[in-house]
Structure 1
Amino acid sequence: MSASVSMPLGGVQVGSYDSYEQAQAAVDYLSDQKFAVENVTIIGSDLRQVERVTGRLTWGRVLAAGAAGGAWWGLFVGLLLGIFAARPGAWIGSILTGLLIGLLFGALFAAIGYSASRGRRDFTSTSAVVAGRYDLMCNPAHAEEARAHLARFSLRG
């Protein structure tokens, strides 16, 4: 289905919901009713970016996070090198060496990155894009059937 001037992206509106979970549940209900859900589109409107501050960023947290990330990479490289070790017990040394080098380089690069920011962003956060509402759109040929199913869905509670 391609969008045209007469038919907006996704078709015609058959439902509107306050959360993505509600819209997802409506589409799941349509699927349970054997409705051809490939004719349905969920469109989020009134988009906002929400950034939730999760904590203060300190040198200790920066170095610990960098060391932990570096240690994982070092462990991975140590395991890869350990597979090809010539002596039977040498793989343990490869793993420990990779872990230690990864830990040190991870902490070093984290320190360089944090010092380059010069304190302009001394906090950690997570961000997400959320919509104010979610509209269910449907191909016009199937819209009435979808509306009938969604009316029963809304009566379910």
Structure 2
Amino acid sequence: MSQPFSPQQQQLSNLLDRPGRVQIASYTQYLEAQRAVDYLSDAKFPVERTAIVGEGLKIVEQVTGRLDWNRALTLGMSQGAVTGVFIGLVFSFLGFGGGKGLLALLLDGLLLGIIIGAAWSLLTYALSGGRRDFTSVGGMRADHYNVLCDPEVAEQARELLSRMPPR
């Protein structure tokens, strides 16, 4: 049995699924479509009546390297160090230092972060059982990006975009 939409979910669904929108431009790069909508915004066009729609979506995962025990340890320590310093900084601003100075809290956070990050990373690597011995970064890409607009203001948007200076 499906749950009914909350009012916020229904509002978002209505925003994203407006029937009858027309295409006013198409670009091969997202940043070009973003630039077009930004240009419309600068021209005081009602940009809330536009949408950027990516078509031909694909997931791209770029492998960045081999993962072994040493790399897992190094990655865990570095990520833990950054997190630990951040937590030490937050504790110092909130006054949870117990009389310690900023530098002492940062060092405590750094050391604790390195230890916890290393342990966690090694544990998760051990539990993976060699099923994923690589690191990667991923994202979603589209073949092209269409700028859509409500039909009542589409011609105005096309006219404005025809005056957009080339990059």
Q: Does residue 29 in structure 1 map to residue 39 in structure 2? A: yes
Within the candidate set 66, 69, 79, 1:69 is matched to: 79
Tell me the equivalent position of 1:118. 129
Q: Does residue 128 in structure 1 map to residue 161 in structure 2? A: no
CA distance in 1, matches of 2:78, 2:45: 48
Give the secondary-structure state (helix, strand or coil) at the position aligned to 1:128.
strand
Counterparts of 1:50-89 in structure 2, within 5 Å, are 50-76=60-86, 80=91, 83-86=96-99
CA distance in 2, matches of 1:73, 1:152: 47
What's the CA shift string for 1:94-114, capped at 9, x where partnerless? 654554343223212211110
Give the secondary-structure state (helix, strand or coil) at the position aligned to 1:16.
strand
* Residues 1:94 and 1:127: Cα distance change in structure 2 (over 3 Å): closer
Tell me the equivalent position of 2:161. 150
* Residues 1:66 and 1:13: Cα distance change in structure 2 (over 3 Å): same
* Residues 1:51 and 1:141: Cα distance change in structure 2 (over 3 Å): same
Number of positions where the alignment pairs a residue of Structure 1 with one of Structure 2: 149
CA distance in 2, matches of 1:104, 1:111: 11
Report which of the two structures shows the higher radius of gyration computed on alpha carbons: 1
Percent identity over the alignment is 44
* Residues 1:147 and 1:84: Cα distance change in structure 2 (over 3 Å): closer
Ranges of 4+ aligned residues in structure 1 off by more than 6 Å: none
Give me the TM-score of the superposition, normalised by structure 2.
0.74
The question of whether the paired residues in 1 share the 8 Å contact of 2:24 and 2:147 is answered with yes
Give the secondary-structure state (helix, strand or coil) at the position aligned to 1:62.
helix
* Residues 1:30 and 1:77: Cα distance change in structure 2 (over 3 Å): closer
Unaligned runs of 5+ in 2: 1-13
The question of whether the paired residues in 1 share the 8 Å contact of 2:77 and 2:113 is answered with yes
Give the secondary-structure state (helix, strand or coil) at the position aligned to 2:44.
coil
Within the candidate set 45, 48, 51, 1:38 is matched to: 48
More deviation in 28-37 or 60-69? 28-37
Q: CA deviation at 1:139?
A: 1.0
Tell me the equivalent position of 2:114. 103
Give the secondary-structure state (helix, strand or coil) at the position aligned to 1:120.
coil
**RMSD of the TM alignment (CA)?**
2.7
What's the CA shift string for 1:50-74, capped at 9, x where partnerless? 0011111121111112122333444
* Residues 1:144 and 1:125: Cα distance change in structure 2 (over 3 Å): same
* Residues 1:74 and 1:147: Cα distance change in structure 2 (over 3 Å): closer
